[in-house]
Amino acid sequence: MRLQLTEPVHAVMIDSDLVFLDVDADAYFCLPLPEGLVVLDGEILVTPDVQLGEELVGAGLVMFAGDASPLRSRPTAPERTARRLLELAPQMHGRVRFSHIAALAAAVRAGLASRRRTFRQVVQAHGPSEASAHHDIPRLLADIAVWRRLAPWLPMDGVCLFRSGMLAAFLRVLGHRPTWVFGVRTWPFQAHCWLQVEDIALDDEAERLCAFAPIMEV
């Protein structure tokens, strides 16, 4: 049986566990399966178990696939950390400019707005990812350094979605287009998100993020 993820649903296989993220429902579903029962290739799911396939269709997670299917980009885990790069290049610690103050105001507005929005609205506000675009890494790191200097004074929430959303708004005003990556791990189950440009984690440690399998990027 050949199936395709529905528009609001993303999925990843972790060993034999099939994990779904339903953006509309703001919910994750983890389905432990026998080894080899399901093969996931991008957004195409193949299984010989007709009953399982029909149950997934009934749950709205997948639909019957046609011959041709669009492919979503597959997130990749970061290998470097912005914090560490800044430690190795102190000359990148730029001074605070007026544009940073304007970006900071945008970050605060985005943080306050996210408390009234659904998960889908928060994700859509970030806009499409531009992972293939050219990134000015030195300028990005200099702006991250300013953010790290100013962030302790912001009304930051401990939730990763809130923190990453504020930083994303800050960077967008300054002309950067980071990718917002959502990842999961199992046993125990945990979901997390972070910002990334190329292979650089902007607001977390790459060594910690390697424990998460990326499931969606925006």
Q: What is the pTM of this model?
A: 0.90
Do 137 and 145 contact (CB within 8 A), yes or no? no
CB atoms within 10 A of CB 37: 13
Hey, what are 146's tokens?
A: 């300013």
Return d(Cα 120, Cα 128) in angstroms, integer.
Answer: 13
pLDDT, tens only, 143-196: 999 999 888 877 766 688 999 999 999 999 999 999 999 999 999 999 999 999
Domain spans, the chain: 2-64, 80-217
pLDDT, tens only, 24-58: 999 999 999 999 999 998 899 999 999 999 999 99
